[in-house]
Amino acid sequence: MLGENTAENTARRLEQLAELCRQGQVGETVTKTLNKLFGYEAENCRIQIRQLENDLSVFEKQYGMSSDVFYRRFQEGEAGDNMDFVEWASVVQMHRRLRQRFALVNGGQI
């Protein structure tokens, strides 16, 4: 069971680690490892965010509006449903989710 690589198993192991932390039973190695993991995740998020921002910039220049304005119009059904708009909306959503993830792994800072 502990060898399984599932999200549920990972969550369970993290809960166990959190309990050890609360009890003050986690050493320097675990702390350093966690800091490295969060740093690695934050850097991956930064790279992906930059790539998505480049993609958003292309759409913004092509259609002459910001992604925020476009996305609001898209959600309200005012933008139409051509494939570019569906793709643009998808990129906006990915960008927003990635920024949220980055904030989580970066201690709340974007």
User: pLDDT, tens digit, for every residue of 17-72?
Assistant: 999 999 999 899 999 999 999 999 999 999 999 999 999 999 999 999 999 999 99
Percent of the chain exceeding pLDDT 90 equals: 82
Opening angle at CA 45, ends 104 and 17, nearest 5: 45
User: According to the model, what pLDDT value does residue 2 have?
Assistant: 52
In a domain, 92, yes or no: yes
* pLDDT reading at 5 higher than 60: yes
| 109: pLDDT strictly greater than 80 | no
Helix axes 28-63, 67-75, angle to 10 degrees: 80
Query: Do the beta carbons of residue 93 and residue 87 sit within 8 Å?
Result: no
Specify if 11 maps to a domain: yes
Residue 47 domain boundaries: 7-105
- Number of domains present in the structure of the chain: 1
Tokens of 97: 């989710």
Please say if the pLDDT value at position 107 is more than 90: no
Rounded Cα–Cα distance for residues 11 and 93 (Å): 25
Q: Would you say residue 26 lies in a domain?
A: yes
Where do runs of H (alpha helix) occur along the chain? 7-22, 28-63, 67-75, 83-105
- Residue 26 · residue 33 · CB < 8 Å: no
CA distance 67 to 53: 10
Q: What is the mean pLDDT of the chain?
A: 92
Q: pLDDT grade, residue 81 (50/70/90)?
A: confident
In percent, the amount of the chain with pLDDT more than 70 equals: 95
Identify whether 110 is part of a domain.
no
Domain assignment present for 36? yes
